[in-house]
Structure 1
């Protein structure tokens, strides 16, 4: 590093972390912590926010953290710095997911500008989409986004699409049969959602056509859940990685967020459909390489963004501490 290198200020890096917290996560659990030591930001997986019933191996936990890592990288790059990202840099500290380091000052390219501009607008859209095909050019952009992060994004044809949606519905039924599944869902959704979780207003209506497998969140009010017809021929994509290690799960999260931000920039709405990758027997038949997420992509009306935790709750103090199961810094010698 050049002797004339001036690292970004703590304020700049705090702003980058704030943007990183807008990343998507399972049930909006926001399972991340950050330690800022200019020019570095360490990203930790918060074990206290792991959902053990729906995600026993912690795969989606790390995908969520990977999405935050990508957003942090993008924000630091948008701030005008070259960026280096080291995944799982300390074998002795498995909670440390990534170390992101700002390097020399570098001009910001157009793609970085576009993706960074999409960060405040990206959100999960659980409402019906228009019955309009996603243009081939947009699909190519999404595939390219996944490739840039070492993943693949496959668009399901009509037969595969119907099969995947059928598998998703079957997986959803199996998940509901798991002991304590409803309790875990209730913890993170509905009236319990404040700075995290999925609030009542973000829950989707049931699909009147019974095609789209929407997550069975807590009741949105008295009486039956609203029903609306969803698009009959949704665009379904499968995000996959070459391997299925913890590093692959982090890369899948980075690829997922790059795809979602690219879609947002293109004016597309997105819905992760995670049920088919949450049941091992279903996930194993989704492709030749490990499927990490199923996405629904299309054109939908704008919906709100789910709440985010304040920066004070996700920043760790400087020093040699680790993240414990309570999510707090634990000083160790």
Structure 2
């Protein structure tokens, strides 16, 4: 006799739908564009794993930024699937014995997803990390209200820093860069992942500011400088500075941060604003303490965001490379079901 649960139809997207969703969601941001994620699909559930081979051992020895990156990819995947009318039920860190398994998704049909989800899914292709100077963002207060609402379900606080914080953060950014300048392992790691123009990962030279351009953006990570360029050389940076903070500093907190980061970035893109996520200030304890003193909430600062308005040249910026789906997805045989 067959168990009664075998009569229950399993609802899940087919493999081509999953592949397409991962291809689109692969535009998610990650530290140095390392794309440190792996997925497994068994026909019923989709599981996210961290790819420890892509851990930045000098810049990110605890894996905090790796997990934040995976959280951003997780939210991107759920957003794409929702736009395709698939609601996803999420279990975060489902197996304490497998710390590399970060999340498991199961599926239900969704007849009428909200308009906001559809708009944020459409924004995925348009989103870019803009490291050049930005003008003050129009309509910023309304975007912040929406962004706070989107971050709240992930238990992440969003603070907008006063302009008086800018020189303090610029100094913290310079100090962080100075402490890393003679760190051989950090510099080797940075140069490997940035500026060597790979075809599927890393940050290409075209996405990095030259020395002349970086002068106009004092709150930023110091990257290897490409040849001289003076894009937007006539403006200083007036981007708003936004901080995402978590209540704790656990692996699950980091995953929540990445999910909230994804939602906020896509909402800003939807509103026509440019963004740049910064994590270098929170990499070092001293720089993080300087940030803690500037936020209203009592949480742990995890990510600093620059949000502003960019000239029309942002729309013509080429997308940074991404790994093919075949490299990040493993297809497993369907799970066997018990029969008696």
TM-score by length of 2: 0.87
Q: 1:45 to 1:208 in 2, by over 3 A?
A: closer
User: Could you tell me which residue of structure 2 aligns to residue 196 of structure 1?
Assistant: 201
Q: Alpha carbon RMSD of aligned pairs, Å?
A: 2.2
Q: Which residue of the other structure, out of 249, 257, 266, is the alignment partner of 2:254?
A: 249
Task: Give the match's secondary structure for 2:177.
Answer: helix
Deviation at 1:234, TM superposition (A): 2.7
Mapped to 2, the partners of 1:192 and 1:140 lie a distance apart of 38
Counterparts of 1:206-217 in structure 2, within 5 Å, are 206=211, 207=213, 209=215, 211-217=217-223
- Which residue does the alignment assign to 2:281? 276
Q: CA deviation at 1:252?
A: 0.2
CA distance 1:33–1:232, change in 2 (3 Å):
closer
Contact persistence 1:27–1:198 (CA under 8 A): yes
Q: Distance in 2 between matches of 1:133 and 1:280?
A: 34
Alignment partner of 2:167: what SS? helix
Give the conservation status (yes or no) of the 8 Å contact 2:42–2:333: no
In 2, the alpha carbon distance for the partners of 1:269 and 1:132 equals: 8
1:21 equivalent among 3, 26, 31: 26
Aligned to 2:173: 168
Cα 1:38–1:259, aligned 2, differ >3 Å: closer, same or farther?
A: same
Residues 131 and 231, structure 1, Cα contact 8 Å, conserved in 2:
no
Q: CA deviation at 1:126?
A: 1.2
CA contact (8 A) 1:127 1:205 kept: no
**How far, CA to CA, are the matches of 2:171 and 2:90 in structure 1?**
38
Partner SS state of residue 141, structure 1: helix
Q: Which runs of 5+ in 1 are unaligned?
A: 321-333
State how 1:253-272 maps to structure 2 within 5 Å.
253-272=258-277
Of 26, 42, 47, which aligns to 1:42? 47
User: Which contiguous aligned blocks of 4+ residues in structure 1 show a shift greater than 6 angstroms?
Assistant: none
Q: Alpha-carbon deviations, 1:36-73, whole Å to 9, x = none?
A: 12231111110000101111111000000000011111
Within the candidate set 151, 162, 171, 1:146 is matched to 151
Structure 2 residue 131 is the aligned partner of structure 1 residue 117? no
Partner of 1:326: none
Query: Helix, strand or coil for the counterpart of 1:121?
Result: coil
